[in-house]
Amino acid sequence: MNAFLRLAVAVVIAVPLAAQVWQTRSPAIGASVVADATHGRVLLQGGNLGWFTSTTNRSVWFDGIRFEPAGLPGAASPPLAGAMAHDPARGRTVWHGGTVGSMQTWEHDGAVWTQAVAIAPPTPGELVWHAALARVLLVAIDSTTWTWDGAAWTQLVPASPPPGRTGFGLAYDEARQCTVLLGGVTSTGVTLADTWEFDGLNWSQVTPMHAPFAGRATLAFDRVRQRIVARVTDPSQFATWEFDGVDWSTIPIAVNAPAALGARLVTSPLSGACWLVEGWLPAGNSVRIRELQGQAWLPLAGCQQPDGVYGSAVAVDTRRDVVWRHGGRLADNPFLDTDVAWLRFGESWLEHVAVPRPSARAFHGMVYDPGRDRLVLFGGKQGNSPLGDTWELHAGQWSLRSGPGPSARARFGMVHDPVRARTVLFGGQGTGYLGDVWTSTANGWAAWPLVGGPSPRAGHAMAYDAANDRIVVFGGEGPAGVLGDTWSLTDAGWTQLAPTVAPLPCHGAAMAYDPYAGQVTLVGGRAGNTSYADVWRLHGGQWSLGPPLPASEGTWHAAALVAVPARRRLELLFGAHVWSFVFGIVDARRFDTWELVSDGQPRAAAHGSGCPGSAGVPFLAPAPGSVPMLGGTFTVQLAGAPAAPGLALLAVGGGIATFAGEPLPLPLAGLGLPGCHLWVAPELLLASNVTGGACAWSFALPANPALAGAVVAMQSVVPDAGLATFGTVSNAVVGEAW
C-alpha cells in the first residue's frame, strides 16, 4: 500500500478548472544559455518556437538528464533572448538584452526572474563572469566594456578595445584568468577571425600563429582540457577549435554535431566539459545538447528530441508508460513526410529503427490496443496521395495487416474504445470527404452501418470519453466549409449535442479525454489562414473554456493531444501554426511539448463507467459541498444501488494506469461480472451500509504536506440480489490530494 493510503484513505473533489495549468519542459530554439554553477544546472532563456515562428520568453533548466520549467507559468521574465552570465558570488544569473536604446537587466535567483531598476547599457552584447574582477562583464556590440555588481552598471575605459561587432564568442579562461573574444561580423558585413584578451584592466589583441577561419563564434572554457573551446561557423563550413593562450589548433572531430544555426557553447556545471546546445538544424528544428568528449560531440541522454513535424500520429502505450510518435510532415512544398518512429521512455526520446516499417506519411491514425498489446496504424497520405494500409507494432516489430478495410484516406478520426475492445474510425478525406464508420478488432476491420450522423468531413477532432462511455467528435471541414458541430457516438448510434457555447468552427484541433478532469479537452485548430490557441472542456453536453495556454506561445493546429495517466497529465505535442510571409502562407512546424498539470489545488472527477444493476447504473461522486483539504474531512457518496439493505464495498487505490501489470480498464467477466470493468488499481476494500439505494464513506485527511499531490482512485462494488451475477460496479472517482 502506498504511503498516502497507509495514513489515510481519501479522495478529492472536483474544483474549478483553473486548478490546472499548462507548463512546458521544451526549450526554444536559439535560446540564450548559461551554466548556473550555484544550482548545478544549465539555464535556457527565450528563443524561437520553430521555423517561421514567434519568439518566446520561456525559461527552462537542463540538469544533464531532462529539461524542467525554470519558473511558474506566466511569471515575469525577460522579454525575449539576450545575453546571460552567472554570478557565483551572489548565486544569480544576470540577463542583459532588449532593443538598442531600451535595454533591460534581469536576474534569476534559481526560482524567479526579477527586473533590476538600474539603467542598463544602451546596446546589446555578450556577458561573461570575470572571476578576477568578481563582476559580470559586458562586451557590447559598440566596443564598450561594462561591469555589473548587482546594483549598477559601470562603464570601463580600457585601452585598445576591440572594434565593434556582432556574433562574436566570449568566454573566461579560468587557467589564465582573462576573458577571450573571438571573431564576429562588423556592421558592414565583414566576418572577422581576430582574437582579443581582457585582463580586467585593458584589452590586447593576440596574434597566434594559427587562427580559426573568419566567422561567427561561440566560446566556452573546457575544464577537462583546460582550454578555451570555440565553435566557428560561416555559411559554408563549421569547425571546433581550442586555444591554449598562445595558439589556436583545430580539434579533429571524429563524431561531429551538425551545423546547427544559433548553437551555443557552455561549460557543463556537472562534468566541466563543453556542452553544445544546438539550434536550427538543416533537416528539422529541435533542441539537442552534446558534450565534447575527446574528439567527439556525443549527445547527452535525455536531451534528444524528435524534429518538429505536424500531422504526426501519437499514441500512449499505457502498459509501459511509453509515448510513441510516427511520421508527420516536415515541409509544405514540396510535400516532405517522414517514416521515422520515435518512442519516449521516461524523459528520453529514442529513434525506433525497424524494417519493415510503415512508409513516410502524415495525417494518419495510430492508437494503442491494450487488450492485444499493440499499436495499430492506418492510412494517412504521402505527399498528396492517400494511403489505406494497416500496420501493427508488437514486441518492437512492425507488420502489415492484410484483409479488407477502410478506403485510402487521411485526416480521419481514430480512437480506441477500451470497454468494447475495439478501434473506431470515422470520416476522412480520400477522393472526397467521407462519413463512414469502421471498427477494428483482432478479427480485422468491419464497416459499422449507422443511420444519420455527422456530415462527411475531414480534419475533425475525436476522442473516447470514458466518463460518459461515448466517442465525441467535433468540427472538421466538409463540402460546405469549416464545421463547428459536436456529436457523440455510442452503441445506440449518433447523437448531435446542442451546447449553449462551443469552440469556433475549425479543423485540425487536438482532442483527448483527461481522466483527472473527467472531461474531454480540445486545443487549437484552424479555419482558413487563422489558427487558434484556445482550450475547451466538454462536460456532459456543454462546452466551457479550459485552462488557457500562455498567449506568448503562439497557436496550434495539426498537433497531438494525449493522456498519460501514469504521469497524471495531458500532453500537447508538436503540430504547427499558420505563418504568413511575403511569399504566402506556410504551416510553421512546432517541436515543443506542453503538459496540463495541477497547480497545487485538489482536484478529482468521475472516471469510467459503471454496469447496469437492478436499480440502474450505480454512480459514485463526491458529496456536495465537501472540501478535500489536507487536514479536513471528505465524503464520497454512492447512488443507484438496490433499495434493499446490504453492504457496498469501496475499492481504493493509488492509480488508474495499470493493475498487476495490465492496462486499465480491465474486464471483469472472469470474476462473474460480464460487461463490467475495473477502472482503478485497488489496494484495500472498505464496506458501508446501503440504505434506500445509497451509502457514503467519509475520510479524515491528515494535515501532512508530504501527501500533497498524492493520487487516489475509488470504485464501488455493489452486491445485487436482482441480478443473475452477484452484483455490479460503479464508475470511479480519481484525483489528486493537496
Q: Do the domains spanning 27-299 and 313-591 agree at the CATH topology level?
A: yes
Task: Please state which CATH class domain 27-299 belongs to.
Answer: mainly beta
At 443, is the pLDDT very low, low, confident or very high (cuts 50, 70, 90)?
A: very high
pLDDT at 556: 93
**Nearest partner of 440 among 474, 468, 417, judged by Cα:** 417
For the chain, state the CA radius of gyration: 29
At 581, is the pLDDT very low, low, confident or very high (cuts 50, 70, 90)?
A: low
- Quick one: average pLDDT of 248-273? 90
pLDDT at 280: 67
Segment 92-101, tens digit of pLDDT: 999 999 887 7
User: Does 492 score more than 70 pLDDT?
Assistant: yes
Question: Which of the listed CATH numbers 3.40.50.2300, 2.120.10.80, 3.40.50.1000, 3.40.190.10 matches domain 313-591?
Answer: 2.120.10.80
User: Does 437 score more than 50 pLDDT?
Assistant: yes
Q: What mean pLDDT is reported for the chain?
A: 90
User: Which element (helix H / strand E) includes 106?
Assistant: strand 102-108
At 634, is the pLDDT very low, low, confident or very high (cuts 50, 70, 90)?
A: confident
User: Which element (helix H / strand E) includes 446?
Assistant: strand 444-447
Contact 302, 288 (CB under 8 A): no
Residues 6+ apart with CB under 8 A from 734: 515, 516, 518, 604, 605, 607, 656, 679, 680, 711, 712, 713, 714
Question: Which of the listed CATH numbers 2.20.130.20, 3.50.50.60, 3.20.20.60, 1.10.510.10 matches domain 3-13+602-737?
Answer: 2.20.130.20
User: Does 2 score more than 70 pLDDT?
Assistant: no
Residues 6+ apart with CB under 8 A from 187: 164, 165, 166
User: Does 582 score more than 80 pLDDT?
Assistant: no
Contact 500, 516 (CB under 8 A): no
User: Does 387 score more than 50 pLDDT?
Assistant: yes
The total number of residues written for the chain in this structure: 738
| Higher-scoring residue by pLDDT: 572, 13 | 572
pLDDT at 341: 95
Whole-prediction pTM: 0.89
Contact 264, 246 (CB under 8 A): no
User: Backbone phi, then psi, for 259, in 5-degree steps?
Assistant: -80, 75
Segment 64-87, tens digit of pLDDT: 888 889 877 678 888 877 899 999
| Higher-scoring residue by pLDDT: 304, 285 | 304
- Quick one: average pLDDT of 324-329? 96
Contact 328, 47 (CB under 8 A): no
DSSP per residue over 525-587, as a string? EEETTEEEEEEEEEETTEEEE-SPPPGGG--BBS-EEEEEGGGTEEEEE--EEEEEETTEEEE
Q: Is 28 helix (H, G, I), strand (E, B) or coil?
A: coil
Percentage of the chain with pLDDT > 90?
A: 71
pLDDT at 281: 62
CA dist 368 and 29 (Å) reads 31
User: Does 14 score more than 70 pLDDT?
Assistant: no
At 223, is the pLDDT very low, low, confident or very high (cuts 50, 70, 90)?
A: very high
Report domain extents, the chain. 3-13+602-737, 27-299, 313-591
Max CA pair span of the chain: 97
Lowest model confidence (mean pLDDT) among 219-233, 449-463, 662-676: 662-676
